Structure 1
Amino acid sequence: MNTLTQRLVAALPLALVAACGSSPSNTASDSNVIVYASSARSPSSIASCLEDRLSRAYESHSGNATELAIGSRSNASYFVTLTPNGYGSVIRVTHGASSSNDPPEEEMRFDVARCTT
């Protein structure tokens, strides 16, 4: 690996943690976003990892995006959208309409961070 690549790979976890703490914008449609980040991993790799870590993760596909509903199948606590880009994936996690925090938000953020690095 060349030096630039090594630096980018080393900086990825820090960038991901910073992204987990903020939403991409302040518009009303993005008010439920809890994680917005990018990863060098493919959507299928991230989805597989999250499905292994979270007991109630339901996968579906919409166009080229992979979507996961986390929690109850009929009233999900979180929605994870994994969209491929030229470098891997864009990850967007939103809190569902459910008032449930199953799993707790902290655990959800941790699992997303572990599966995207």
Structure 2
Amino acid sequence: MLAAATDCEPREIAGLDVFRVEADLPAELTEAAHAAVLAALATADRYGHTLTRTSEYVWAEISREANVTPTESPDTAYRALLGHTTTCTACRTGVNCPDATRLVRAWRDTRR
């Protein structure tokens, strides 16, 4: 979701208890891209924004301690969400998409 919102490949950092994604922000962010970044960050357990003299990026962390429901794995639910957001015109332009909202809820439910 961050890749689609920022048009750059995010960095992925795997820790023992958390999976972290960092995405550089472009110098100018359209209103639609800004909304898409915020929507992506909202799916994380923890998120933030870092601004230094040389860079600006957002980060999102997802805990590995989430419980999995027996009906669907978090990986399967996340792949469904990712597949939708990368092909949905509304998601790629930052418009509120009810399908993405439903898929985010389903993914979060599998992580509980």
TM bracket (short chain): 0.3 to 0.5
TM-score by structure 1 length? 0.34
**Which protein is richer in helix relative to its size?**
2
TM-score by structure 2 length? 0.35
**Which protein is richer in strand relative to its size?**
1
